[in-house]
Structure 1
Amino acid sequence: MASKALVLSRSPIEVGWVFKEASSEQPFRPVSQFPTVTHLDLMYHSLIPDPARNKNARDVQWVGEREWIYKTTFDFAELSNKDGNGHDKNGARHVLVFEGLDTHCRISLNGELLLRSDNMFLEWRIDVTDKLRTGPNDLELYFESTFLIGKQLEKDQGFKNLYWNGDSSRMNVRKVPCHYGWDWGPTLLTAGPWRPIYLETFATRISDLGIDVEVLDTLDTAIITVSIELEGTDVDIASTLLEISDPSGRKIDQGEIQGRGSCRFIVHNPSLWYPLGYGKQPLYDFTATIGGSLHKVSKRAGLRLVELVQRPLPGQKGLTFFFRVNNIPIYSQGTDWIPPDVFLPRMSLQKYRDWLTWAARGNQNMIRVWGGGIYEDDRFYDTCDELGILIWQDFMMGCGAYPYHDYLVQSIKAEAEYNVRRLRHHPCIALWCGNNEDYMFAELHHLEYDPKDDNPEHWIKGNFPGRYYYEVTLKQVTETLTPRIPYHLSSPYGGTYSNDPTVGDIHSWRVWMADQPRYPYQDYEKLTGRFVSEFGMKSFPCLRTINALIDDPAERHPQSDTMDMWHMAPEDQRTISMYLVDNLRHGNDIEAYSWATQTIQAESTDYSSRAFRRLWRGSGKEECAGCLIWQLNDCYPAVSWSLLDSAMRPKLAYYVSRRNYASILVGATRRVVEEKANEFTHVDIKRTAYAELWASNLTLDPVDVDLEIGFVTVSGGSCIHNETRAVTLLPNRSTELGRADFPDSYRDSSTASSLVVHLRLRERRGSQRVLARYTEFPQPLRRHDFGGAKVFIRPLDDGRSWAVGAGGGVAKAVELSVATDDDNLVDACLFSDNYLDLVPGDDQIITIDVNVLGKIPQGGLTLIEKHYG
């Protein structure tokens, strides 16, 4: 076989890069890093200020409308193994590989134009076997303005695209949609080689290693089909050895394929992969090798059975929408994910691990990779595999009516095939989803969309032709390449309309959004669906983040011009102020205002995630099976819905979501019953208060607990009544625990409003530790005086734990922090819990993560607190 002697080699092209604006007379300058994008290099040379600081983003908008040249020179050593005709005896090929180019780029080698790229989400491969010269070779990348190209395409098509967020021209190009601006992020249109570039030399290579895992319903057998695609010389006779190793590294099977094809393996009693909270995450190694060592490709995959269950709910309208993994119904709880940095090449493996570790520490078992960003880096999915985080993967289309063109069809198809092949082996992938909100957009704007019309020829002639991509292109790609991973047309997508709460998933935005009837966050229990894949409340970033990025102290106030820039949607300031005015007493300096907005976000997160989880009631009663908070992360300093700000600092809502995503949860809902003296009266009305009680157990075993119920005065903190009930929490569901009537002299709703309902679930046997607690407050909080409460912090002997308690009243929204000016130390201290509600007599133990003790000063830490009121 001709290829026996040639081992595949990969030579990174990552040094010597220089750049300049194409039309500038300025000299080429070295890049700041590689891979890179324009803004990073311009900042490196102080040619633009950091857009994240002050109001600088306004001053750098010109960058996205310019053309840029990147170039380098790399050496090539000729292989001295040619026949008399000048052909390489081993059939050597030399291929330039561009893993990602942002976005419209003319690629030239030694002055010859090789390719025009036009899709940021694709890998580009160019055979340069006959174009390389021995010695130095000049590689040039000429990046055109994708913004201007998109505007020209839009003009040429004769109509303006309909859209939400950014610019209408984004619909014509395959670039990160949110680079055009979104309601949480800036307009910063980057360009450049944003992923690695290298020269590959081979005779025969493995171009695709497919791993299809079928786990039988019995869970005792996994049937694994490994497929091989080859490229190069003698691909029909090349011999590929396949090997499988179990999670311990022990080789358990092997097979051989001649040429292209597949090999079937059977694993008995497999070590199954489970989502976080349901089991372990063992990973098997799959290795394919051509001819002994000519080319080796390895992938890690988990063996698991994943299903999307949509079946009738007895006695209710619609269908379920829940994921089942290895026969276990999963309550999906997590967040939505946006690109983690506005300048993508800055992302490192450590940053991915840090972001995703915050998610895992927050008990999140699912992340939705949102369709206005990117198909994430391999390191992202590798980490999710290891942590047990399921991925709902959108395709990168969102918030508009995409035009239909042959070139877009082909580009989107190629993009989907490339990324599905790249990602399909990951056990974390639980769902492919066609887009974000495009069907909702079509309905709200009354486009020509008839769900009953199944003729694609009609769709592409109307004003919602993007339907073709979701129902034909993407559906065919996913069903062909990943038959065992479900596909969902859109998020949201449901029954009689896209946001139908009885079918599919919903985006629950009636809290917050101004274009819908705006609800108080206390009404989230009315705004649920079978799977809530988006909802949230905006807040300011942490004060230290604000102070670090706004240099002028005069601009550090809530209504400054700079802070207005951090509000990315025009209604943001008004919306936040309305929720504040409705619910809290607060100050207007930047520290008080920022903290108040985070308090509102935290309270909103509590009312929503707790209410949704209550509806996971067990088999045949999966009324709500998912709760994904918009959003986990920020890519840029902004007033946004994120649980952690752009500096990766947790907001108060993070701790609420972490508690509400714990295995055991307890809750109470205050109700008032009205009895009228007659049918007409407005005054002779008796209003009696009581509390509905419930708890949730996501473990797979029943849990015996004592439910402790206390009624405590907000002012003074006196316990008016307490009782204990022995209850059993059934596995993997919520359990209704009856009602608790307010004490006799407090049953009237007006007097009941002076009490909180304080609940604890205490382990009945063993250590009798508190498994969960909850304090239900009368609403709105602004009507109550919490000023009498005092918070006590007592260090414990281990040097990393503190007992935190209250006296003189109930303490609401207690935030603990480290008393230091050292930002690095503050960021290193990971609290076991925070944003606490404290009732006298119920001290809580808070610890600092042991992994950071090496950074703690010799004298130890001092904790300080602030709370509402």
Structure 2
Amino acid sequence: MPLTKSLLDKKWQFRQTTVLNSSTASSFLPVSQFPTVAHLDLLHHGLIKDPYIDVNEIETLWVNDADWEYRTTFPSPASSPTSLHELVFEGLDTICSIVLNGTVIRETRNMHIEHRVDVTKLLKKGDGEENVLELKFKNAPEFAKKEKDRIGYKGNGTDVHFGGPERLFMRKAQYHWGWDWGPAINTSGPWKPVWLESWDTEEGRIRDWIVRQEVSEDLKTAVVKIRGSVEGGKGSPISVEITDAEGSQVLVQDISVDSKGKFSADIEIRSPQLWYPFTYGSQPLYTIIGSLSSADSKSIKLGFRRLRLLQHTLKKEPGTSFTFEINNTPIFAGGSCWIPGDFMLPRMSAKRYRDWLELAKSGNQAMIRVWGGGLVESEDFYSACDELGVLVWQDFLFACGNYPAEKGFVEEVKVEAEQQVKRVGHHTSLAIWAGNNEDYMVAERWGWDYNPEDNSPENWEKTDFPARTIYEIALPEICERLAGDVPYWRSSPYGGKTSNDKTIGDVHIWNVWHGTMSPYQSYKDYTSRFVSEFGFESAPSLRTLHDGITDPSERHWQSLTFDAHDKGPGHQRRYGMYSGENFRFQFNPLSSFVYCSQFLQAEAMSYAYNHWRREFRGAGEENCSGILVWQLNDIWPGTSWALVDVNWGRKPAFYITKRALGKVVVGMERVVTGGYGNYMTDWSYPEKRDKVEIWAVNGMVEKLEAVLKLSAFDIGSGKEVELPEEERTRKLVLGGNKTTEITKIDIPSADKTVLVAYLDDEKTGERLARWITWPEPLKFVKFYKDLKVEATLDGEVATLKANAPVKGVVLQVPIEEGGEDAVFDDNFVDLVPGEEIKIGVKGLDGRKIETRYLCDWEYKEGFVL
């Protein structure tokens, strides 16, 4: 009998087993779907309001603190004296007693662990008799508080950020306690599939199947490393078949199984097709199938690539590089951070994952960081990254807190980490495993007893930071044994004299927006070897806010409901401060707040991405090798740091980063050229910036022959400003995979002039890149009083033009037109006279387009539509 898997997804019911004031499901009701969690089932039956809407989060907090029971029945499978039957629980959230036919068969306390239970002797034997499976869940917060009291908290109880300190004592997705971008929805239930697996012990089955790969330095050969074990059977070999991306068979080879059921082999593949991030090449995937005669088989997709993390000294800057190298090519890893796609995780699907990752790729994002407060994601997530060519930075599941190192807790963590590395470790897109999110940074900030030079685990146990044993012993050992060529990094951030050392390792930059609330123009001062987290808040689209705030009287940026949908501490102060420093603004009506906050975020991203990408200067000068913004996605209709809101509303910052991470980029920076003497003028007059530096980034490996064209315009009149002839056009040869500094020129009447740079392919004339530099702060800029922006539509192409320089033009479908917004290939563009900017658009369906942009007249309106 070959191994069979029967999905147990039918006839499930649920009920609440605690008696609370808000008890609503005391009798069994059918579930909404399976897998599921209690919030989903209560929503399905109309027993709670949607916690994503209005202030319903408060009204549904009781669900977090309730206990729940799920049950189903299923028939016993066909059986023989040599049959073995296991129940497989891919994920239970979280404190659960599993009961089969009245017998407790497993107690669980970790939502990240798969459980397998031999139930051969417990299954009903009679014809037609149904087995009763019950899952009895206790609420996570109560259990976690008891664990905290049992283990004892070594640090100050305030040394936890987001949620209560009890979350640290429970192996459950940490964001379920709430975070600064989402509500507190602490779910409970069978969140992953449940199976009944049956097999014949005489025929056997494949128990472990671990496949890794290694590519030679000259890239001419690849080795498929296969390790595993067989349970039962008669010692039959494992037959391995490898086919290439086109489906052609590469080889078939048998691997012998030893007397202990172990097998291993290193299989060489000559002239392999190599896998690259999409910014550098294609993504061929081989199929590796292992079969134990006809009893069982395992199959995975595998790409071949040589991965290294380079940390060499730099030619002109202190410290060392932090550069991912794929197939001997240093990679600039631009992208974003990923938070879980939903609080109610069973709603996530392969399509939702794929759609989000395709969206990231459409924004030229070559790396996604999976944040440690969430999950090691679904197989669907990593498979999509493999196929799309998006690298993955994966945190282990610890975030912003002082975790315990009690023996039982550490052993639980080891089981969890080993399972997760085994489960997803073969994926070609994986680039790094990081031990946690910000735990070392928090240790430094709050003054824990932490000496990075003390390498004695015995001493760590006596300090208030004992979790070092997890990050510095347990996790590295598991990665060394199971992660193949994917490197382990102690934390994110980590490196140097402090965890946020700009010269070594990776950094999280939060002195803009948080911390000292530095101007976003200071991002250049925080240039680091690899920026794995930074961000700037903004509102979602007006449509998304209307979805989340149903009362029209609450649809303004100072309402209680608005505040409830912005979890960022101090956001009320920050919006006004950053806006007042930079441009004339108004925050009411709500549409104006959306535009202003999104304008700020986009300008901040522009400074960060363009300055930092400039610092990828070639061999020995990889002064910055990656930028991952916090964050790509949103989880509910709220205000956050996301580039794209929960309803797929692409913010202006998404388009800014898309252009900044393009294959070819031209950049400009106005540099300080003087002040006003030794008088008290520094605080009241901007510094003189009468010169501009110009550079270009060639993201292709091969060199590029290009032409740089410059022009300038007076902002107040729209008239062209003459530039010296030698500055207007110049031919360039741009080296591959690096930045080339081009020139530094004067700007005539700099405080009234915009300078425009175009970069064209010398051979084909194709426009490769474009950049406009403005005087700052923008609040001092005086726009042309008769400024006109014209938008025309021809099929699925919108054309923009203006009669004078204009800043931040956004195209959108008016909310009054109904439906979702259209999808634009580009947006949030600056315009100058004499040019036409064409933007692809889909999903208009006959509706109108409106434009919104920055201006300075008839200020009671604020913006012109």
Q: What TM-score does the superposition give when structure 2 sets the normalisation length?
A: 0.94
Give the match's secondary structure for 2:75: strand
Tell me how far apart the structure 1 counterparts of residues 347 and 380 of structure 2 sit (CA, whole Å). Answer: 14
Q: 2:762 aligned with 1:764, yes or no?
A: yes
Greater Cα offset, 270-279 or 254-263: 254-263
Tell me how far apart the structure 2 counterparts of residues 761 and 18 of structure 1 sit (CA, whole Å). Answer: 63
Counterparts in 2 of 1:688 and 1:49: CA distance versus 1, 3 Å: closer
CA contact (8 A) 1:584 1:596 kept: no
What letter matches 1:316 in structure 2? E
CA contact (8 A) 1:677 1:685 kept: no
Q: Paired residue for 2:860?
A: none
Q: Paired residue for 1:202?
A: 199
CA contact (8 A) 2:706 2:759 kept: yes
Which string of whole-angstrom CA distances, capped at 9 and with x for unpartnered residues, describes residues 167-216 of structure 1? 10000000000110111111111000000001000132222221121100
Give the match's secondary structure for 1:352: helix
Q: 2:358 aligned with 1:357, yes or no?
A: yes
Give the match's secondary structure for 2:268: strand
Q: Paired residue for 2:747?
A: 742
Give the match's secondary structure for 2:383: helix
Q: Paired residue for 1:393?
A: 394
Residue 784 of structure 1: which of 778, 781, 784 is its match?
Answer: 781
How does 1:622-641 map onto structure 2 within 5 Å?
A: 622-641=622-641
CA contact (8 A) 2:760 2:769 kept: yes
Counterparts in 2 of 1:677 and 1:543: CA distance versus 1, 3 Å: closer
CA contact (8 A) 1:433 1:489 kept: yes
Give the match's secondary structure for 1:182: coil
Tell me how far apart the structure 1 counterparts of residues 722 and 285 of structure 2 sit (CA, whole Å). Answer: 52
Which string of whole-angstrom CA distances, capped at 9 and with x for unpartnered residues, describes residues 423-480 of structure 1? 1111000101100000001111111111111111111221001111000000000011
Give the match's secondary structure for 2:239: strand
Q: Paired residue for 1:15?
A: 10
Q: Paired residue for 1:85?
A: none
What letter matches 2:274 in structure 1? L
CA contact (8 A) 2:87 2:116 kept: yes
Q: Paired residue for 1:327?
A: 328
Q: Paired residue for 1:41?
A: 41
Q: Paired residue for 1:844?
A: 837
Q: 2:63 aligned with 1:63, yes or no?
A: yes
What letter matches 2:851 in structure 1? E
Unpaired segments ≥5 residues, structure 1: 1-5, 82-87, 747-751
Counterparts in 2 of 1:296 and 1:791: CA distance versus 1, 3 Å: same
Q: 2:469 aligned with 1:464, yes or no?
A: no
CA contact (8 A) 2:237 2:255 kept: yes
Counterparts in 2 of 1:676 and 1:192: CA distance versus 1, 3 Å: closer
What letter matches 1:538 in structure 2? E
Q: What displacement does 1:39 show? A: 0.4
Residue 190 of structure 1: which of 187, 205, 209 is its match?
Answer: 187
Q: Paired residue for 1:800?
A: 796
Q: What displacement does 1:672 show? A: 2.5
Which string of whole-angstrom CA distances, capped at 9 and with x for unpartnered residues, describes residues 34-60 of structure 1? 000010001111110000111100101
Q: What displacement does 1:481 show? A: 0.8
Give the match's secondary structure for 2:599: helix
Q: Paired residue for 1:163?
A: 160
What letter matches 1:710 in structure 2? S
Give the match's secondary structure for 2:208: strand
How does 1:118-517 map onto structure 2 within 5 Å?
A: 118-134=109-125, 135-159=129-153, 161=157, 162-203=159-200, 204-231=204-231, 233-234=232-233, 237-259=235-257, 260-291=262-293, 293-513=294-514, 516-517=515-516
Percent identical: 39
Give the match's secondary structure for 2:690: strand
Counterparts in 2 of 1:677 and 1:40: CA distance versus 1, 3 Å: closer
Which string of whole-angstrom CA distances, capped at 9 and with x for unpartnered residues, describes residues 4-26 of structure 1? xx110011110111101113583
Give the match's secondary structure for 2:808: strand
Tell me how far apart the structure 2 counterparts of residues 180 and 741 of structure 1 sit (CA, whole Å). Answer: 54
Counterparts in 2 of 1:554 and 1:672: CA distance versus 1, 3 Å: same
Tell me how far apart the structure 2 counterparts of residues 675 and 102 of structure 1 sit (CA, whole Å). Answer: 61
CA contact (8 A) 2:695 2:742 kept: yes
Q: Paired residue for 1:519?
A: 518
Two-structure CA RMSD over aligned residues (Å): 1.9
Tell me how far apart the structure 2 counterparts of residues 822 and 105 of structure 1 sit (CA, whole Å). Answer: 49
Which string of whole-angstrom CA distances, capped at 9 and with x for unpartnered residues, describes residues 134-157 of structure 1? 320000001001110111111223
Counterparts in 2 of 1:685 and 1:58: CA distance versus 1, 3 Å: closer
Greater Cα offset, 19-28 or 693-702: 19-28
Q: What displacement does 1:681 show? A: 10
Unpaired segments ≥5 residues, structure 2: 20-24, 856-865
Q: What displacement does 1:867 show? A: 1.0
How does 1:448-847 map onto structure 2 within 5 Å?
A: 448-513=449-514, 516-587=515-586, 588-674=588-674, 687=688, 689-722=690-723, 723-743=728-748, 746=749, 752-766=750-764, 768-786=765-783, 788-796=786-794, 799-807=795-803, 809-818=804-813, 824=819, 826-827=820-821, 829-847=822-840
CA contact (8 A) 1:508 1:528 kept: no
Tell me how far apart the structure 2 counterparts of residues 21 and 168 of structure 1 sit (CA, whole Å). Answer: 26
Tell me how far apart the structure 1 counterparts of residues 578 and 678 of structure 2 sit (CA, whole Å). Answer: 36
Counterparts in 2 of 1:654 and 1:198: CA distance versus 1, 3 Å: same
Counterparts in 2 of 1:765 and 1:469: CA distance versus 1, 3 Å: same
Counterparts in 2 of 1:677 and 1:347: CA distance versus 1, 3 Å: closer
Q: What TM-score does the superposition give when structure 1 sets the normalisation length?
A: 0.93
- Aligned pair count? 830
Give the match's secondary structure for 1:27: coil
Tell me how far apart the structure 1 counterparts of residues 719 and 425 of structure 2 sit (CA, whole Å). Answer: 58
Q: Paired residue for 1:99?
A: 90
Counterparts in 2 of 1:243 and 1:718: CA distance versus 1, 3 Å: same
CA contact (8 A) 1:243 1:288 kept: yes
Tell me how far apart the structure 2 counterparts of residues 366 and 559 of structure 1 sit (CA, whole Å). Answer: 36
Tell me how far apart the structure 2 counterparts of residues 687 and 666 of structure 1 sit (CA, whole Å). Answer: 23
Q: What displacement does 1:165 show? A: 1.2
Q: What displacement does 1:703 show? A: 1.3
Q: What displacement does 1:674 show? A: 2.1
CA contact (8 A) 1:705 1:761 kept: yes
Tell me how far apart the structure 1 counterparts of residues 63 and 133 of structure 2 sit (CA, whole Å). Answer: 23
Tell me how far apart the structure 2 counterparts of residues 218 and 823 of structure 1 sit (CA, whole Å). Answer: 57
Give the match's secondary structure for 2:706: strand
Counterparts in 2 of 1:371 and 1:681: CA distance versus 1, 3 Å: closer
Q: Paired residue for 2:859?
A: none
Greater Cα offset, 411-420 or 683-692: 683-692
Tell me how far apart the structure 1 counterparts of residues 313 and 688 of structure 2 sit (CA, whole Å). Answer: 38
Which string of whole-angstrom CA distances, capped at 9 and with x for unpartnered residues, describes residues 785-825 of structure 1? 335421112334xx221321111x2111111123575655x
Give the match's secondary structure for 2:573: helix
Tell me how far apart the structure 2 counterparts of residues 775 and 278 of structure 1 sit (CA, whole Å). Answer: 27
Residue 865 of structure 1: which of 829, 843, 851 is its match?
Answer: 851
Greater Cα offset, 580-589 or 295-304: 580-589
What letter matches 1:583 in structure 2? N
CA contact (8 A) 1:674 1:685 kept: no
Which string of whole-angstrom CA distances, capped at 9 and with x for unpartnered residues, describes residues 58-114 of structure 1? 1010111111001111111342x3xxxxxx1xx211000000000110000011111
Give the match's secondary structure for 2:470: helix
CA contact (8 A) 1:253 1:265 kept: no
What letter matches 2:580 in structure 1? V
Counterparts in 2 of 1:679 and 1:549: CA distance versus 1, 3 Å: closer
Q: What displacement does 1:604 show? A: 0.6
What letter matches 2:51 in structure 1? P
Q: What displacement does 1:404 show? A: 1.1
Tell me how far apart the structure 2 counterparts of residues 114 and 464 of structure 1 sit (CA, whole Å). Answer: 36
Give the match's secondary structure for 1:185: coil
Which string of whole-angstrom CA distances, capped at 9 and with x for unpartnered residues, describes residues 654-696 of structure 1? 1111111101111111113227778999999995611011111
CA contact (8 A) 2:205 2:233 kept: no
